[in-house]
Amino acid sequence: MSLGPNGHLELGLDTFGDIALGPDGSPLHPATVLREVLAEGELADRLGLDFFGVGEHHRDDYAVSAPDVLLAGLAARTERIRLGTSVTVLSSDDPIRVFQRFSTVDAISNGRAEITVGRGSFIESFPLFGLDLSDYETLFEEKLDLLAAVVAEKPVKWEGSIRPPVNVQQVMPATESGHLPVWVGVGGTPQSVVRAAHYGFPVVIAIIGGASRQFAPLADLYRQALTQMGKPELPVGVHSPGFVAATDEQAIDEFMPHFVPYMNKIGRERRWAPMTNEQALAQLGPDGAVYCGSPETVAAKIADTVKVLGVSRFQLKYSMGTLPHDKRMECIRLYAEEVVPRVRALLDKD
């Protein structure tokens, strides 16, 4: 296992700024949700968690479309927690501007900024920014190549098909450390982890369906690719949804009314069959991708994932659909105070 930037197994949180409902049952204004996310990130920092990530979306069910701006606010309000994205949709952004924005967050946070880049799981940003979906593969591949050149923090000489060449230009501002950590968010495709290995970027595997052990071949392929390319061992992270409450029963009762409608909303857009309660409960079980339950249950499932995949960082996506702010705050508290110590104790036994 290659350890994360903090030098130990990192346990953190992710949110997309999911739009919850107000007392009258109507969706909260995105501004309210963004302020709630700031409070959640501050709590995660106070409780000693390792990482807080926010994901970029351009939809009416998520509030975060500019994660770097939100992270800059958190950088000024927090002291030690690492701050990053989950993910930055690189395909519809400018890699040079991405670096500039995050090197600025890095300065504000005294060196705590990270980027996780990916294609994103939705396509709204493509028409929004005037991009052609037929260029889906080329956009990500070339922009990742340019970002790799930029984060080396040397004069950039780059040429591709998606934009004019960059002819030996220095991209500013530089980071104080000379290194802005970049991770690549991946799903289940082998070519994604091989590409990340080529650039020497760590990976975060998004496990949002099925058992974590099903992704062991993907993690193994990534490590094999690093070895074959002569790269050093690099961290592997996991991003998965979940929720913590005092008991398993309470967690299920509080989570399910938000989880099932959320999944079925996405399912209707993608023409999936509706998720039944039985299917949802299976995802919450030992062989599912959702880490939901009491601190004991969630800790045991995380520890198993860490061991099976050789994970260096686990990121719990604690916001889910219309789950309200007070439940999210209590989930963060239980995760930090009760789940994290149990995970470390379970792993120390081995």
> Quick one: pLDDT at residue 7?
61
CATH of 10-349, one of 1.20.1090.10, 3.20.20.30, 3.40.50.300, 3.90.580.10: 3.20.20.30
Q: Give the pLDDT band of residue 3 (cuts 50, 70, 90).
A: low
Let me know: does 116 contact 185? Beta carbons within 8 Å.
yes
Per-residue pLDDT at 247 exceeds 70: yes
- Percent of the chain surpassing pLDDT 90: 96
Q: What is the mean pLDDT of the chain?
A: 96
Question: Average pLDDT for residues 337-346, to the nearest whole number?
Answer: 99
Domain boundaries of the chain, sorted by first residue: 10-349
Residue 35's pLDDT band, with cuts at 50, 70 and 90, is: very high
Three-class SS of residue 235? Answer: coil
What global pTM score does this model have?
Answer: 0.96
Q: Report the amino acid identity of residue 63.
A: A
- Cis before residue 87, ω within 30 degrees of 0? yes
Q: Name the pLDDT band for 2 (thresholds 50, 70, 90).
A: low
Count the neighbouring beta carbons within 10 Å of the beta carbon of residue 269: 10
Portion of the chain with pLDDT greater than 70, in percent? 98
pLDDT in tens, 88-113: 999 999 999 999 999 999 999 999 99
What integer pLDDT is reported at residue 164 of this predicted model?
95
Q: How confident is the model at residue 121 (pLDDT cuts 50, 70, 90)?
A: confident
Separation CA 350–CA 340 (nearest Å): 16
Residue type, 64: V
Q: Is the pLDDT at 325 greater than 90, yes or no?
A: yes
Give the per-residue pLDDT at 350: 77
- How far apart are the C-alpha atoms of 283 and 266, rounded to whole Å? 16
Residue 47's alpha-carbon distances to 6, 9, 125, 194, 309, in angstroms, are 16, 16, 34, 36, 26
Print burial letters for 157-168: b (CB count within 10 Å at least 16), e (below 16): ebeeeeeeebee
Residue 220: pLDDT band (50, 70, 90) is: very high
How high is the pLDDT of residue 291? 99
